Amino acid sequence: MTAAVADREIGALYASHAAWLNAWLRQRTRCPHKAADLTQDTFCRLLERADTDTPRVPRSYLATVARRLMIDDARRARVESAFLDAHATLTDGLRQPGPDQIAEAVNALLAVTRALEVLPERVRRAYLRARLEGCSHAEIAEELGVSKSMVKQYVAKAYARCYAASYGPAADPA
């Protein structure tokens, strides 16, 4: 399917289902502005994936895409709230971050979260226990039933993935 054909199909999908999707989202978000944004984001997501065929059950497909966007939005809001709380604690509430700083920090935190989610369980657990809980490699090795050198490798691998996620693919050593 060519890009022009895909754009026309998505345009037709928008014309026939955007009002329905907006109403569906208004019921769930209880905010007409958020519903309008999510409606537009849903169709933008479809345009980004223009290589897909027209869905057989458009409303179900649109609802699934929109539901995933709502989940992403809620996750982003939680991360933003955590960042603002941490920032306020670190600066004693004396300095508020600007919108650009907030967006940059939230994007970096979400990228790190995604990087950690795809790591094997032992690697992720070793990294989180070492970095967040301050456990020694010996403690983690005992808990996981592996050697200290293996824990060191796990932590290094996770750290490299987090670093790459924070600073872009050019920084990815793996």
Nearest-angstrom CA–CA distance, 166 and 143: 29
Return the CATH number of 116-171, one of 3.40.50, 1.10.10, 1.25.40, 1.10.3470: 1.10.10
Residue 132's φ and ψ, nearest 5 degrees, are -95, -35
DSSP secondary structure string for all residues of 14-49: HHHHHHHHHHHHHHHHS-HHHHHHHHHHHHHHHHHT
Provide the whole-model pTM.
0.65
Domains of the chain by residue range: 3-73, 116-171
Q: What digits encode the pLDDT tens for the residues 115-133? A: 999 999 999 999 999 988 9
Q: What digits encode the pLDDT tens for the residues 10-42? A: 888 999 999 999 999 999 999 999 999 999 999
Tens-digit pLDDT string for the chain (174 aa) = 577 777 788 888 999 999 999 999 999 999 999 999 999 999 999 888 866 677 889 999 999 999 999 998 998 888 888 888 888 888 887 778 888 988 888 888 888 888 999 999 999 999 999 988 999 999 999 999 999 999 999 999 999 998 888 876 544 444
Nearest-angstrom CA–CA distance, 95 and 85: 12
Nearest-angstrom CA–CA distance, 85 and 96: 11
